[in-house]
Amino acid sequence: MTEQISGVIDSIFTKEVQIKRGPKAGSTSTVYHAMIQGHDVNLGFQCAFQEGESVTLNVEQKYGGYQVVQGNGSGTPVAPAPASNAGQASAPTKVSAAKPAFPTIKNTKDVSIIRQNSMTHASRIVRDMVDLGVVAAPPTEAEYVEKVIEVAYSIADFSTGWREQKMADAMAGYTEGDE
């Protein structure tokens, strides 16, 4: 049965869980939890919330506690029900929005994954560029590594949307006559 929990997120923490079914069975993974009004709410494998944020979440009793409802809404906050007593003042409730896809928010787990992925691709790209004669092979190991990092940063900037954000910021700072 679906319920709603409303309140301020007092804390966000993680727990390591053993995956029991599926292709990753036997491995462990990190699950996010939030304390809301004294209730431990399992947010799942991703967290789009922050401590101090006021939320209203669809939850259900599952795995021995509250679990954000997956699927329809995927744990997305819902609008709070209107107050029934018009004469009573109530604190405003901020409903959290999911984090934007672009640009990727800095200092998140997503950035670490993007950087790792970018390094993998950059090492292959630099190797291919050298093999095809697009660039000369860097003469030292340090210079080769530096070239891989340069390409990785370019890929990460593109993948996170930071490249476009930097361009938009530069354009916003440009005024006519700045030539």
Residue ranges per structural domain of the chain: 1-99, 109-173
Strand 54-62 to 28-36 pairing: unpaired
With a threshold of 0.75, does the pTM exceed it?
Answer: no
Give burial (CB, 10 Å; 0-12/13-18/19+) of 142: exposed
Query: How is residue 63 written in tokens?
Result: 């795995």
Confidence category of residue 93, pLDDT binned at 50, 70, 90: very low
Task: Give the model's pLDDT for residue 31.
Answer: 87
Confidence category of residue 177, pLDDT binned at 50, 70, 90: low
118 in Cβ contact with 155 (< 8 Å) = yes
Structural domain 1-99, CATH architecture? Beta Barrel (2.40)
Residue type, 82: P
